[in-house]
Structure 1
Amino acid sequence: MKKFILLVITITIVSCKNDPKKKSSNKEEVKDTKEVKKENFPKELGKVFQAHGGINAWRKAQVLSFNKGEEVHTTDLKSRKIVVNHPKYSLGFDGKVIWLSEDEKGVFKGNPEFYYNLYFYFYAMPFVLADDGIIYEKVNAISFEGTDFPGYKISYQANVGTSPDDNYIVYYNPKSYQMEWLAYTVTFNSKEPSENYNLIKYNKWENVNGLVLPKEITWYKKDDAGNPTEPARPATEFTLPLISQAKLADSFYEKPSE
């Protein structure tokens, strides 16, 4: 597909490199801390952002891209325009409408309105938890293999996004402040608040141009107390990550001509 070719060219030009050993300088850390205080994040959540590369670095990024299987997910981080490209279909959001294009009708299995940004949110954790219109609330920790993971619940003000009643809970390592778990509700179909949380373990992370982003996540089963017990399904892997400060043309996010 033309969009995929353009993205490959863009990746080649910006040549963002993964460097697991790269760390922020002390000056950058001080700057990020000031930014966190300015934006009034809870102190602990600000430390989580810092452990993943810092909110300043995230704010500077323009484009985020990653592969999930044969799908290439590309997002404009400022406008949240999105394209998901697959050899047999593509879907996305052009800033006004959500669209779907298929080689054959029925190839894409799912609801484009629900799916188009689903994995962007899972992949862009924890930084999407710094979006506008968020309400933060400290919650009880969950326990797994002898470690308690403190958490913050994230809810949204009315009329924010397509599912403002969705809630997230980020759980972090109490020593490193790296994100470890994500609990989330799904209200897309019901359009009503829910206390039925799904739970994801963030198994592996990688440094992508200075930001620590997920490499592998796994959905987990829970006990009656809400603590994780065992994997509910095989892990989902992300490959070919890209963070770029170079924008893509708006036309990249538009539906291909038939």
Structure 2
Amino acid sequence: MKKTIYVLLLAISITACKNESKQEPSKAAEAVEAETMTTSIYPEAITKVFNAHGGIDTWNKMQSLSFSIAKPTGIEKTTKNLITRAELIDTPTYTQGFDGEILWVNEKDGNAYRGKPKFYKGLMFYFYGMPFVFGDDGVDYKETEPLVFEGKTYPGILISYEAGVGESSDDQYKIFYDAETGQMEWLAYTVTFGKSEGSPDFHFIRYNNWQTVNGLVLPKSVDWYNYENNLPTEKRNTVEFTDVMLSEKAPDQAMFTMPEGAKVID
């Protein structure tokens, strides 16, 4: 009887081990699938660019970003919640905020704000967050003809948006990147804000000065170029980004709340 029980227990043990050995590869496969799911939804070319800058998966872990730009009136500091896209732009003469729903402007010391809050909301963040902002939902990717500049050829990706995405869904962008490294080198973009239809004119920014922040390769400065016939000609000006902070910790939502005396922008 004891022998029979022993044989039965041994059989159960062997069966359990077989089942366990069958399950382990399945779990491993699921883990690999989960890791690659995010990047696999993007075309190969844009994935190559993302990877050259640290990877879209790493970017998606980040929740807060801040940077400063020197302007004639003083330092302009932008703080962004990368998940909700709430934003605070603080300058010596005004503060512009967006809490995720309400856009507001708070003028300082009697200085009248004469800018375009809707146009400027997210603008510098968008240029700074290259190439990762093109990982957002509602983006379409197509191959476009390469850019040839000073004898070097840069492959191109045309980026457009589904209707209703963002303030200017008719905007178009082109990323031009180094064929060997995948690193982004140029951005071409149209401006359609406030217009009834798309624009055929592409403006050009050169991205050739990078810095590594928290594992991601982000701009240290960018060069705006003059253009002719939808091609860059000579450098016009440089914008430098300083005091860059990128974190997996979300910023305090209270900083985006409209203060007393601020104006709501409809």
TM-score (normalised: structure 1)? 0.83
Amino acid at match of 1:190: K
Q: Which protein shows a greater Rg?
A: 2
**Shift, 1:252, TM fit:** 1.1
Confirm whether residue 38 of structure 1 aligns to residue 55 of structure 2. no
Displacement after TM superposition at 1:36 (Å): 5.0
Structure with bigger RCO (C-alpha 8 Å, 6+ apart): 1
Mapped partners of 2:256, 2:164: distance in 1: 24
Overall identity of the aligned pairs, in %: 43
Structure 2 counterparts to residues 1-258 of structure 1, below 5 A: 34-39=36-41, 41-69=42-70, 70-224=75-229, 226-231=230-235, 233-258=236-261
Equivalent position amino acid for 1:38 in 2: S
Tell me how many residue pairs correspond in the alignment: 226
Distance 1:37 1:55 in 2: 7
Cα-Cα RMSD = 1.8
8 A contact 1:75–1:83 mirrored in 2 = yes
Give 1:155 deviation, angstroms. Answer: 0.6
SS at match of 2:105: strand
Letter in 2 for 1:44: A
Q: Which is richer in helix?
A: 2
Q: Aligned with 2:127: secondary structure?
A: helix
Moved more, 191-200 or 238-247: 191-200
**Deviation sequence 1:94-149 (CA, Å, 0-9, x none):** 11121100114554341011112110000000000010001111100011111111
Change over 3 Å in CA distance of 1:32–1:143 after alignment to 2: farther
Deviation, structure 1 residue 223: 3.7
1:257 to partner: Cα distance: 2.1
Secondary structure at 2:51 match in 1: helix
Contact 1:73 1:84 in 2 (8 A): yes
Tell me the secondary structure at the aligned position of residue 128 of structure 1. Answer: helix
Instruction: Write out per-residue CA displacement over residues 79-99 of structure 1, whole angstroms, 9 at most, x where no aligned residue.
Output: 111110112210021111211
Contact 2:187 2:206 in 1 (8 A): yes
- The whole-number CA distance in structure 1 between the counterparts of 2:34 and 2:44 is 12
1-structure distance, mates of 2:35, 2:237: 37
Contact preservation (8 Å) 2:63, 2:248: yes
Contact 1:32–1:56, Cα closer than 8 Å, also in 2: no
Counterparts of 2:63 and 2:181, CA distance in 1: 27
Q: Secondary structure at the match of 1:47?
A: helix
Separation of aligned partners in 2, 1:56 and 1:91: 30
Contact 2:80 2:88 in 1 (8 A): yes
What amino acid sits opposite 2:259 in the alignment?
P
Check the 8 A contact 2:39/2:57 in 1, yes or no.
no
Unaligned segments of structure 1, at least 5 residues: 1-29
The two structures have a TM-score, normalised by structure 2, of 0.80
Distance 1:80 1:113 in 2: 14
Contact 1:36–1:46 under 8 Å retained in 2: no
Residue 234 of structure 1 aligns to a residue whose secondary structure is: strand
- Superposed CA offset, 1:171-211 (max 9, x none): 10111110000011111121311111111101311001111
Partners of 1:125 and 1:200 in 2: CA distance: 11
Deviation at 1:32, TM superposition (A): 10
Match of 2:237, SS? coil
Q: Secondary structure at the match of 2:57?
A: helix
The CA distance in 1 between the partners of 2:243 and 2:39, in whole Å, is 33
Q: Distance in 2 between matches of 1:81 and 1:71?
A: 17
